[in-house]
Chain A
Amino acid sequence: MAEPMKIRATLAGDVADIKVLMNHIMETGTRKDAKTGQLVPAHHINSITATLGGKTVLDAEIGGAVSKNPYLGFKVKGAKAGDKVTVNWVDNKGDKNSADATVA
């Protein structure tokens, strides 16, 4: 499940505008398979954390109601060019992924 994650972090003044695109199926666990009629087991990201320059700026708990291949945008004040952004996620099966980018 470790498909790449895209992060873009741009600076406007001293505010970093961070956009993250994760690759994940985000199954809710309530959807039925059209062929078998069986419920498709839940498989979604449970938590996302983001750090900027080593400090935690975002700590999120999400569920299956976030769309497939989740997009997340957030803004952090007090950033400067060259700061490192790191985003981690963990899903309900324990899979995880991490990626980083540099504020530009």
Chain B
Amino acid sequence: MNHQRRTVLKGVGSAAAVGVAVAAGLLKPTVAFAGDRTAFEAKGKDAVMNALKAGGAAESKDITVKAPDIAENGAVVPVEVTSNVAGTDSIAIIAEKNAFPMVGEFHLSNGAQGFIATRIKLANTSQVRAVVKAGGKVYTAAKEVKVTIGGCGG
């Protein structure tokens, strides 16, 4: 897991210092560098899709993105994703017009069904896109949400 990675990078400020910390045995390299949050730092929908290795995702009618047509408050937009794709391994949610579009990726296992409900922030009127990975293949679907007051920054 990568829980310490950002803290380490920000707090310590340089890769060299992290190297020193690793050398000193303070951090195991796997802890410091495992995990991949590049998708969260990617700007623009296409960059996020590439970071998720979902560049060639096929549109699928088996995925439903349930969200309001118009969200008055972009800071709290309820979103539900249901995937009827057999063997759904993970569901990612992308708010295409946000400065950092990646919202989250949810890995499902041991009987967890293809369903995720959460609340997200939308900066602007945007497509809310779900990316589903199942059996090594990638599927996607999206729904537009109109936002009257944005929820990111300002």
Residues of A with Cβ closer than 8 Å to B? 15, 19, 28, 30-32, 46-47, 52, 55-68, 70-79, 90, 92-94, 96
Residues of B with Cβ closer than 8 Å to A? 1-4, 6-7, 35, 37, 40, 75-78, 80, 95, 98-113, 115-121, 151-154
- A43 and B40 CA atoms in complex are apart in Å by 14
| Inter-chain contact total with CB atoms closer than 8 Å | 131
A75-B152 CB under 8 A given contacts A46-B37, A60-B105, A61-B104: no
A76-B113 CB under 8 A given contacts A63-B100, A63-B102: yes
Chain B residues near A55 (CB-CB < 8 A) = 109-111
Rounded to whole Å, the gap between the CB of B38 and the closest CB of chain A is 11
Query: Are B106 and A30 in contact (CB-based, < 8 A)?
Result: no
A76-B112 CB under 8 A given contacts A61-B37, A94-B4: yes
Rounded to whole Å, the gap between the CB of A81 and the closest CB of chain B is 15
Query: Are B3 and A90 in contact (CB-based, < 8 A)?
Result: yes
Secondary structure class of chain A's binding surface, majority of residues: strand
Rounded to whole Å, the gap between the CB of B56 and the closest CB of chain A is 22
Chain A residues near B111 (CB-CB < 8 A) = 52, 55, 57, 76-79
| A39 to B, closest residue via Cβ | B153
Rounded to whole Å, the gap between the CB of B44 and the closest CB of chain A is 14
- A28 and B100 CA atoms in complex are apart in Å by 9
Rounded to whole Å, the gap between the CB of A68 and the closest CB of chain B is 7
Chain B residues near A31 (CB-CB < 8 A) = 152-154
- List 12 A–B pairs whose Cβ atoms lie within 8 Å, in order of A's numbering: A58-B109, A62-B103, A63-B40, A64-B100, A65-B121, A68-B76, A72-B116, A72-B118, A75-B113, A77-B112, A78-B110, A93-B7
A70-B115 CB under 8 A given contacts A58-B107, A62-B104, A65-B102: no
Chain A residues near B103 (CB-CB < 8 A) = 62-63, 65-66
Known A-B contacts: A65-B103, A67-B77, A94-B4. Give 11 more (CB < 8 A).
A31-B154, A47-B2, A58-B108, A58-B109, A59-B106, A63-B104, A64-B121, A65-B121, A66-B120, A67-B121, A96-B3
